[in-house]
Structure 1
């Protein structure tokens, strides 16, 4: 895999979707895309690649949402657009969050990029799949031992599982139960206060029926 960029690292030529600032990755063959993303391509996605098209990460801005989508690529340097391609076939591809996707929003075949005369890194990050955790950490440690930046070897870590719906439902039920308990507690407390107040009114000689009328009038006057 190589990014579609070349030239000065501080101000490179970059190829990406027109109107977007992300770059694209170039793969040698569709199988490399499957190894990298950990997902099988469906026939439509494979066809898009082989027909000289682009697969766009589904979470990217303005990702393709239907069949027969076409888009243009732009070659730019900074904010200056230096050229554009013809409209190319495109499709969306679901991918999990990972550090290797930073700065990219899709992929195409290297042969397509070469045919379109797009900039391609001569040297760049090498993405390796099928390596055990033990070997990956050993490689990272070897880089550190050699006095190099540990960031030269990045190990993809699977994202945490999202909160399951059952846990969300249990939390919601718990919050409702707490709210009901608070309302019941407040209601019982208010009832006890009213009963004591009513008893005091009756104790000073006010008939029970009149005492209840007094409470109703006071409640109506104090209510918003």
Structure 2
């Protein structure tokens, strides 16, 4: 049995599940509570997800997991090589990253994800992320109108994203780096999504068998 231990919201975990979905790897999806340190330490010796268990192997780095899933998955479902696009995307988004974190962290525990099913899991996440952003989730949420513009500007300035439909329905390693970050933003109501970017999200979600958060955006 192949198992992938994840948090649904985690971009690094999304890398693993999107490759597994695209490559049609049968696997058991194990979503841990965010404060479950014990399982992580038993698996990999530290608090880190995703973790892949396959046969007698345990792998704990997201891109190493992706490479393994690519290796064991459907050989006909090729992942196209990485180009400069992922780096260009990161550069275009770098200035908006602080605002992105504040918009995202203030919302992610409120949309019913399984890793935040208990008070302990939510409090664990809150403690770490509020220290990171320098304000409470309530303060960050109240400043939504302040944090939306830089992220909207970043979305408007993204490099052109090639749609899977423009490359015979194939996933690329660029997608593995880009899609998880964009998916995280789909829980933020009020963002202005350029139509090509929204189409990109929908197409990549479709070929990787993942959902988006648009229907739960707050």
- Between structure 1 and structure 2, the one with the greater Rg is 1
Choose between structure 1 and 2: higher strand proportion.
Answer: 1
Range into which the TM-score falls when normalised by the shorter chain:
under 0.3
Choose between structure 1 and 2: higher helix proportion.
Answer: 2
TM-score computed with the length of structure 1 as normaliser: 0.22
TM-score computed with the length of structure 2 as normaliser: 0.22
Task: Compare relative contact order (CA 8 Å, sep 6+) and give the higher one, 1 or 2.
Answer: 2
